[in-house]
Structure 1
C-alpha cells in the first residue's frame, strides 16, 4: 500500500489539480491497521490519492517532497508526538499552508484547543465514518488547491506587470534615444531643457547651451559615402558623450550633423571651456575628411550661450537661438572653434 513519494513543485501540482481536480492526501500514522482502513475508505474516490508515512521522524521530509494538498496527522506516535510534528509543519516553508487534519482516539476539548492553537485545520476522532472523512478531506484539499491557484495567478500577474513595466521603460528609452548614434535625441533634449529651466529658475543658477556642428559634413558624406558618414556621426557622438564630466550634463543629437550639450549650473565661461574640450575631443579622433576646407580630418564648430532662467523677458528658446547665432559666427570666423554669445540677460544676443 505504501507508495514512493513523487517530487513536484507547486506549479506542477496546481496544473495537475487544475486539470483533474485531484487531491493528494498524506497520512502520518504509526498504526498500519488505521492506514489500511483509511485506504479502503478512499480507494474508490477517483479524485483523491493517498500516501502513507508510518515514521513520524521522516514525515517532514516526505511532506516536503510529496507536496500533499491535505495531511492526516495522528496525535499519538512514538518519538515525536502529533502536536510537535504539527508545529514543525507550520514553521516549514513548503508545508506551512497545507491543511492538517488531526486524528485522535480522544474526544478531548483541551487537545482540540491545542491542535487549533498549533495551526491545525480540523480534528477527527478515529475512525471517522467514510462519508465524513471524505467530505472533510475534499473540503480542505479544495481550499488549498484554490489557494495554490490564486497564488500562481498572482505570481503570473506580477511577472506580467514586471514585464510590462520593463517594456514601457524600454519603449521610453527608445523614444528618447537617437536611433543611429545611441545618444539622447532632440525630443529628449527639449524635455530635459524644460525641466532644467524650471529648476534653474527656482534655484537662481545659470543654464548654458553648447551647440555643435560637424564642419563640411556634406562633403564628407559625398566623398566617402553615407556609411562612413554614419560612422563619423556615431564616433563623434560617443566621444562627446564620454567626455562629459557631470551626470547633470547632457549631450544629444540635435539633428543631422548637429549636436547640443545642456549644462545646468554652468556660466558662459564654464560652457565655453566645455565647448573647447569637446572640440579637442573630436579633433583627436582624426576621422578622415580630406574634402574639408579646415583640415584633413573631422572638426566641429561650436556656439555657446548662457543665461539666468527666470529673468524677465528671457525664455529657453532664446537660449538656443543665441547659441545658434554664436555657432554661425564660429563658421564665419573659419570653423573649428568656439564662439561665445554675450550674456542674454544683458545683451541683445550678439556674439563675441
Structure 2
C-alpha cells in the first residue's frame, strides 16, 4: 500500500526550497509516522513513504527521490535484495540509499554496503542526525546529477563545435557552385600527392578540362543557364574520378582538373575518354549543337620533376592543343625533365 502518493502527485512541483525528496520504505506505519514527525517543519525535506516493499522500486521510479530510507527487515522481501534492485534500475541506480537496521551489527553493516547502500543507521536515529544525513546524501546526489547534466551539456557543445568546425573546413575546400574541390584544395592536394609520389615512385596523372565555347553559351542563354551547365559537367567529372584517391576540382571559371593518383598515361586516357563521351551523352543544347569539352592529359613520375607545376603545365599545353585542334577531343602531353 502506498500512502500519500496519489495526493502528492496532484500537488504543484515543490519550490527550490524543497531540495530533498525523501522516500521511506518500511512496512511499519508507526515508523513511517515517527519519521514524518521528526522531519515535520523542515521545509527543505519533502517526505513520502511506501509501506509495501513490493511496490518500492515502482514508487521510487515515479517519485524520483533524492534519497531513500530503506528498512532491512520486511515481510516477503529481503531488504538487501531491494537495495540491489535499486542499483540495477537505470532510473534510480544512483539515488543514495540509507538502510535502517534494528541493531549495530558489523556483519549486517558490511553486507549492506556491499549491496550498494550509501549509509547505515540504527532506527530510530536521533532527529538531528537523521536530518543531517538526509540533507547530506540528498545534496550529494543533486550535485552529482547537476554535474552529469553539465558534463553532458559540455560534451554536446563540444560536439556541435566540432561539427561546425568540420563543416567550415569542408566549405573552405569546396567550390560553392559545383560541389567539387576548389582551387585552394586542388593546390594542397597536388602538393601532398606529389610528395607521396616522390616516396613511392608511382606516376601521377592530371586531366585539364575546359568547357568549349562557354562564353558564347553564356552570351546566348544567360549566366544562370551557364551555371547549370557547369553543375552538370561537374557531376560527370566527379563520376569519372570515382576512386577514393582521385580528386575532381574546379580550376577556375569553366576549367576543371582531375588528379589521378598511381595512374599511368594509358589509364588516364581511358578516364579522359569516358568523361568526354559522357558529356556528349548529356546532349546539352548549345547555339550550334551540343555542349562539349576539351581535355588535356599529362602523366609524370614525381621523381622526374621538380614539383607539381611541371605536371600542371604539361596538362595545360595538352589542353591548348585540344582546343586548337578543333575542341571536343583529348590530347596528351609528355612532360620533359
TM bucket by the smaller chain? over 0.9
> Does the residue aligned with 1:139 lie in a helix, a strand or coil?
helix
Matched, 1:335 2:327: yes
Q: Mark the runs of 5 or more structure 1 residues left unpaired by the alignment.
A: 8-12
Deviations 1:74-129 (A, max 9, x none): 01100112111112212222222111111111122211111112121111111112
Moved over 4 A (4+): none
Matched, 1:125 2:98: no
Quote the offset at 1:20 in angstroms.
4.2
Quote the offset at 1:245 in angstroms.
3.2
Matched, 1:181 2:178: yes
Q: Distance in 1 between matches of 2:101 and 2:267?
A: 85
Q: Distance in 2 between matches of 1:262 and 1:279?
A: 16
Say what the alpha-carbon RMSD is for the aligned residues: 1.8
Quote the offset at 1:185 in angstroms.
1.1
Q: Distance in 1 between matches of 2:102 and 2:76?
A: 18
Q: 1:52 aligns with which of 46, 49, 53?
A: 49
TM-score by length of 1: 0.90
Match of 1:298 in 2: 291
Q: Within 5 A, what are the aligned runs for 1:11-50?
A: 19-20=16-17, 22-50=19-47
Deviations 1:24-83 (A, max 9, x none): 111000001110111112121111101111111111111122221100000110011211
Deviations 1:244-284 (A, max 9, x none): 33222111111100000000011112112211111111111
**Bigger fraction of residues in strand:** 2
Moved more, 116-125 or 239-248: 239-248
Q: Distance in 2 between matches of 1:331 and 1:47?
A: 85
Q: Distance in 2 between matches of 1:99 and 1:6?
A: 22
Matched, 1:230 2:227: yes
Quote the offset at 1:172 in angstroms.
1.2
Matched, 1:274 2:271: yes
> Does the residue aligned with 1:27 lie in a helix, a strand or coil?
strand
Match of 1:209 in 2: 206
Quote the offset at 1:163 in angstroms.
0.7
Q: Distance in 1 between matches of 2:236 and 2:102?
A: 82
Q: Distance in 1 between matches of 2:185 and 2:9?
A: 56
Match of 2:192 in 1: 195
- Count of paired positions: 332
